[in-house]
Copies of this chain bind each other. A is one copy, B any other.
Amino acid sequence: MSMTIKEIAKLAGVSQATVSKIINNYDDVGAKTKERVLAIMKEHGYRPSYAAQSLAKKVTRVIGVIYAGKINANFNHPFFVEVVSAFKKAMGLEGYDLLFFSNEQFHQEDEDYLARCQHYRVDGCIVIGGEEVEPSVYDVDKSDIPCIGVDIRLSGPKSAYIMTDNLQIGTLAAEQFYMNGSRRLGFIGGGSASHISNERLEGFQQTARSYRLEMRKEWTVQGDFFEESGFEAMKELLQNDELPNAVFAVSDLMAIGAMRAVKESERVRIEEMAVIGCDDIIAARHVEPPLTTVRQDKEKIGRMAAYMLNDMIHGRIEGTGVKLDPELIVRSSCGSKRRYVT
């Protein structure tokens, strides 16, 4: 077992209080005493108990990380990996560690994540993705711990959110199809319960309409943001008598799966089906053909989430919502050099 502060104190012939002051850099400790105690601490590899400290100080220096919803948030989804990675780095600079809650036995018991956050008394928390249409269990408003949502709209005085502007995402995709000469547009969504997917669809539809591009409802199918679902979705799409000549998938993973389905089908060649994805994950540029995609600045999202959360923790800002601009990355899966038959 680890040593306690009391033992160190005894060893050094001083009081607990003095040792504690040394740990916390108080300035009312003599230089020689300090040195001596420090030496003893080092010699015995003493580390103060975090639990005891945070109990006494009422501060944890820990941020809770919550993967919300069943829809699309996931520890190993490339989009979130990048976001969380940037978030982790930025929070680390501020001295925070990250606590990832297990969600495996979550649904057994009727406790929600926020309860876990309260339980741990984390200084703040980040909720990752998964906004669903039905009212969510994340009753953030009642909580008084600072919370930032990524791809999920959290409201309340101590909560904020950040996401890419989803309407714009849809718009950019549709515009590119127009420029590319595609006239018949399909859509692969992330589930009809997913808010962000629906908003992208909305932007996509609006723009398609204004350019007089054709969209049929049988050309709109839903997946779950992951690759396999994109593959299945495209297979389903290819069942139709008449086909679109372009498809926008709301995630690169699904777009990649969709392209695979096209390649495997004998009905249509990949050159005849323009594809646009969303996110610009690393794999996007490596697939064949390289994937045109609506890029989200994952690094920035993570970093800003950290800044905003940090500000909220220190009472510097009130809860707000931020939307970032997406950026179209044109590659040959829907390059402007190619022309498609209308």
Compute how far the CA of A27 lies from the CA of B282 in the bound complex, rounded to whole angstroms. 55
Minimum distance in angstroms from A278 CB to a CB of chain B = 17
Is A256 in the interface zone, CB < 8 Å from B?
yes
Copies of this subunit: 2
Binding-face segment, A45-53, A239-247, A316-324: A45-53
Q: Which of B88, B99, B118, B256 contacts A97 (CB 8 A)?
A: B99
Minimum distance in angstroms from A42 CB to a CB of chain B = 10
Minimum distance in angstroms from A77 CB to a CB of chain B = 9
Query: What number of A residues sit within 8 Å (CB to CB) of B?
Result: 51
Establish whether residues B286 and A50, one from each chain, have CB atoms under 8 Å apart when the complex forms: no
Q: Which of B48, B282, B287 contacts A288 (CB 8 A)?
A: B287
Residues of A292-309 whose CB lies within 8 A of B: none
Residues of B with C-beta under 8 A to A76: 81-82, 85
Compute how far the CA of A292 lies from the CA of B66 in the bound complex, rounded to whole angstroms. 36
Residues of B with C-beta under 8 A to A55: 49, 51-52, 55
Establish whether residues A50 and B119, one from each chain, have CB atoms under 8 Å apart when the complex forms: yes
Contact with B along A211-236 (1 / 0, CB 8 A): 00000000000000001000000000
Residues of B with C-beta under 8 A to A282: 227, 283
Compute how far the CA of A221 lies from the CA of B286 in the bound complex, rounded to whole angstroms. 23
Residues of B with C-beta under 8 A to A120: 50-51
Q: Which of B48, B103, B115, B287 contacts A119 (CB 8 A)?
A: B48
Compute how far the CA of A197 lies from the CA of B118 in the bound complex, rounded to whole angstroms. 44
Q: List 11 A-B contacts (CB under 8 A).
A: A45-B118, A47-B119, A50-B120, A51-B120, A62-B99, A75-B81, A75-B85, A96-B102, A98-B99, A99-B100, A286-B286
A residues near B (Cβ < 8 Å) are 1-2, 45, 47-52, 54-55, 60, 62, 75-76, 81-82, 84-85, 88-89, 91-93, 95-105, 115-116, 118-121, 142, 144, 227, 256, 260, 282-283, 286-288
